[in-house]
Amino acid sequence: MNIVSIDPRVNRSQIDENTQEGIANPLEHFQTYEVFEQKKRGAHHIHVGSVHAPSAEMAVIFAKEQYSRRGQCVNLWVVKTADVFATEYEDSDIFDTISDKTYREPEAYKVIDRINAFKERQKAN
Amino acid sequence: MEFTDKHVQGLKDLLYKMADDLLIIGHRNSEWTGLGPVLEEDIAFSSMAQDKVGQSLALYEILHQLGESDPDTVAFTRNAPQFHCSQLVELPIGEYDFSLVRHFFFDHADAIRFDMLATTVVEPLQMVAKKFRGEIKYHTMHADIWMKQLGESEEAKMRIQSTINEVFPYALGMFEPSEFEAELQEAGIFDGEFALREKWLNKVVPLLESYGYSVPNAETIIPEFGGRKGQHTEHLQPLLDEMTEVFAIDPGADW
């Protein structure tokens, strides 16, 4: 006997005790889009989450209500999640900094002492 | 110009039908909350339903300024024959295709009506019309994109097409003329239901055709009139009973 639910999606899926977990067919579930929100013109678009949608247009329509319903927003981007090319976590050592290279960073310069001293004075005032 | 009694009556009639349409469709569409086809759509549709109720409140407040009872009393203590909503908005939600097609037809009419009222001589109404412009624009975008998307699959397209044919006479029922059309126009309050209907047809027919649907000929269809004059389908009173259930427990309660 199929599981009966008030959620029509469950009924449509015709799940019974013997139903096994399966692999979704391509059209059975929408793909996902990553959503980027811009708070004001000229600002960076910031990643805020993702939505399921059958097309980019509809992803924008959904994203507006998911992420930009409250608060300021002037522009949204959506990008197919599948189109995002990412680094591997196992390669995250490429981002490590090596301590004896600090001469390449602005903090290493002597002027930083003067900047800090200035900041301290500002705070004291 | 000075408003006569007839002008004020016409204005109230206009506000009541707009506000009642919005309250009832807002309530109807909220019935999808938790049951939408996908989570994202569930949230979007529910949020728009809330917007509708908010828009109705703004109009009931104008009516209150014109001497009618306060918004809660007006919304929650009238029976079906005292409502001026079109029959379109009171029909049950049906399957999702029905609710989407109704949303498409209703929201385009709503958007055009508010657009026409952006230049009305009635200042509070003009302000309300401008205030909700962005909100309503999103509602029509949402409806358009669904209609377009569903036109791209044969099965969905056939379903939507038969729903369009079924809903169309009710959609035309939105434009039932009132007895104050001439007064509203002469006072610069509103250009009237006929003008609205023409603008609406010029908008929705080409849009639906561009998505691959056909639209029945408005000139040969008999519109489902009556709603504006308090003649409703059997579906409105049960909706009102449910909507007012909590209010009716203690009408004097402070919320």
- Residue B33 sits in a domain whose CATH number is 1.20.1260.10
Give which of B48, B99, B104, B145 to mutate to test A binding, by max A Cβ within 10 Å.
B145
Asked if residue B140 belongs to a domain, the reply is yes
Number of domains in chain A: 1
Asked if residue A67 belongs to a domain, the reply is yes
Q: Which residues of B6-35 are buried (b: 16+ CB within 10 A; e: fewer)?
A: ebbebbbbbbbbbbbbbbbbbbbbbebeee
Is the pLDDT score of A25 beyond 70? no
User: What does the block give as tokens for B136?
Assistant: 């309503």
Is the pLDDT score of B218 beyond 90? yes
When comparing pLDDT for A17 and B4, which is higher? Answer: B4
Asked if residue B181 belongs to a domain, the reply is yes
SS3 A48: strand
Domain that holds residue B226: 5-247
pLDDT at B200: 98
Asked if residue B252 belongs to a domain, the reply is no
* Residue B203: φ, ψ to 5°: -90, -55
Q: Residues B110-158: pLDDT tens digits?
A: 999 999 999 999 999 999 999 999 999 999 999 999 999 999 999 999 9
Whole-complex ipTM = 0.84
Q: In what order do the strands lie in the sheet with A75-80?
A: A45-53, A31-38, A75-80
Asked if residue B46 belongs to a domain, the reply is yes
Dist CA B214 CA B233 (whole Å): 27
Asked if residue A47 belongs to a domain, the reply is yes
Q: Considering only CB atoms, which chain B residues are within 8 Å of A65? A: 40, 43-44, 47
Dist CA B41 CA B32 (whole Å): 10
B47 to A69: CB separation less than 8 angstroms, yes or no: yes
Question: How far, CA to CA in Å, does A51 sit from each of A81, A83, B43?
Answer: 10, 14, 12
Asked if residue B224 belongs to a domain, the reply is yes
The three-point CA angle A49-A55-A57 to 5° equals 80
- On whether any CB of chain A is under 8 Å from the CB of B73, the answer is no
Where residue B166 falls among pLDDT bands split at 50, 70, 90? very high
Residue of B nearest to A65 (CA): B44
* Residue A53: CATH number of its domain: 3.10.20.520
Asked if residue A95 belongs to a domain, the reply is yes
Asked if residue B194 belongs to a domain, the reply is yes
Domain that holds residue A85: 29-124
A58 to B146: CB separation less than 8 angstroms, yes or no: yes
Residue with structure tokens 């508010």? B114
Number of domains in chain B: 1
Asked if residue A4 belongs to a domain, the reply is no
Dist CA B161 CA A20 (whole Å): 37
Asked if residue A1 belongs to a domain, the reply is no
When CB atoms are compared, the residue of A8, A54, A65 closest to B44 is: A65
B38 to A65: CB separation less than 8 angstroms, yes or no: no
A53 to B141: CB separation less than 8 angstroms, yes or no: no
* Residue A45: φ, ψ to 5°: -80, 130
CA–CA min distance B37, chain A (Å): 7
CA–CA min distance A57, chain B (Å): 7
pLDDT at A107: 65
Dist CA B200 CA B177 (whole Å): 15
Where residue A106 falls among pLDDT bands split at 50, 70, 90? low
End-to-end Cα separation, chain A, in angstroms: 77
Asked if residue A2 belongs to a domain, the reply is no
